[in-house]
Amino acid sequence: MGDIDLTDRAAIAGIGATEFSKASGRSEFRLACEAIASALEDCGIERAEVDGLVTFSMDTNSEIEIARAMGMGELTFFSRIGYGGGAACGVLQQAMLAVATGTAQVVVVYRAFNERSGVRFGSGAQSARPAIPNTDTARSAWTSPYGLHTPAQQVAMFAQRYLHTYGGTTADFGRISVIDRTHAATNPKAWFYEQPITLEDHQSSRWISEPLRLLDCCQETDGAQAIVVTSLERARDLRQPPVRLAAAAQGSGSNQQMMTSYYDRDLSQLPEMGLVGRQLFASAGIGTDDVDVAILYDHFTPFVLVQLEELGFCAPGEAAALAASGELEMGGSLPLNPHGGQLGEAYLHGMNGIAEGVRQIRGTAANQVADVEHVLVTAGTGVPTSGAILRVDR
């Protein structure tokens, strides 16, 4: 955060979402507007008061069309963050910076897509038309000839090396999936509500790209999520208790690529998340023992294990034992993804994870952890990433 102290200067005042489905039956633009309207209603802020909008570079809903359709009026701040799911907390950081510096008074962060009924990210960069040459297509030219077309194929290379380095098995990945699905099963908003799985279910699910099985891979979801950020002082006068933004950070490794950082110093680590974690804990002035809930980006189960290690909750190679210990379950010392995560609730590029962090601080979550003061939220890994620490207002 540099020399400027932005800790607790901004707060999340409202959250809103559509239903999570596999076929929304409406446009991504409408989904975005519905989620934004819900978030503003949640906190009681009028649409005309919104003067900032932030979203992902991959979002199809332009800020000016959102503002015009919603009756927001003039915008003094609008911004987009790239790198897919790695942007999840980066967009929150943008809103925090805008509010804390007075660039905007009320910023809405949103993400909307028909990722199951429309463009399916899991299919990879497949197109009948030649890609427009750029640095990203040039980079992929080094990996796609070897069959690394989809995110699952790209992460599988990492996962195989992780198992080799630490002597693990695919059951180590499966325990993350079981935890998420167990939590989703008691969350009525989750797609897999009342559908828990066992480790045996995981181990018998089909291969997607060895060593990744079907149940190691997140869902494809239609839906939208929106979050309202304003000053802490303003948030205290609104309908919901404010959720302080204690810290937000971005990180990219020194040899970063998109899901294929195979020439990094250690293929069994995610240095971009380590960088984010160091910034977050320093800015918020807390340590790992102060984190009450961990909302970790779970597009693929192996990366959840490595995040636990990079963030300092355990040493390298010890996350599998932590997952097996029961400490990541409800009632454990570090409940993981009480909403079910992207494996169990919905895949909204991590935005629904931020909303779950807000509910945990408010005390309104479906699977509520007792006495929550700090929630750690992370964004997509294997790419330039981000994270945030949410704090109760006392």
Active site residues: 297, 347
The candidate with the shortest Cα–Cα distance to 378, out of 273, 305, 227, 232, is 273
**Are 99 and 13 in contact, with CB atoms under 8 Å apart?**
no
Alpha-carbon radius of gyration of the chain = 20
In the chain, at which residue ranges do the beta strands (DSSP E only) sit? Answer: 10-17, 52-56, 77-81, 106-114, 207-209, 212-213, 222-231, 243-251, 293-295, 374-378, 385-392
DSSP string, 318-358: -HHHHHHTTTTSTTSSS-B-TT-HHHHT--STTHHHHHHHH
Number of helices (H), then strands (E), in the chain: 13, 11
Identify the H or E element spanning 183.
helix 170-184
- Whole-number Å distance between alpha carbons of 116 and 137: 24
- Whole-number Å distance between alpha carbons of 364 and 381: 28
- Whole-number Å distance between alpha carbons of 49 and 245: 21
Residue partners of 15: CB distance under 8 A and separation at least 6: 39, 42, 225, 226, 227, 228, 354, 355, 358, 359
- Whole-number Å distance between alpha carbons of 19 and 16: 10
Identify the H or E element spanning 41.
helix 28-43
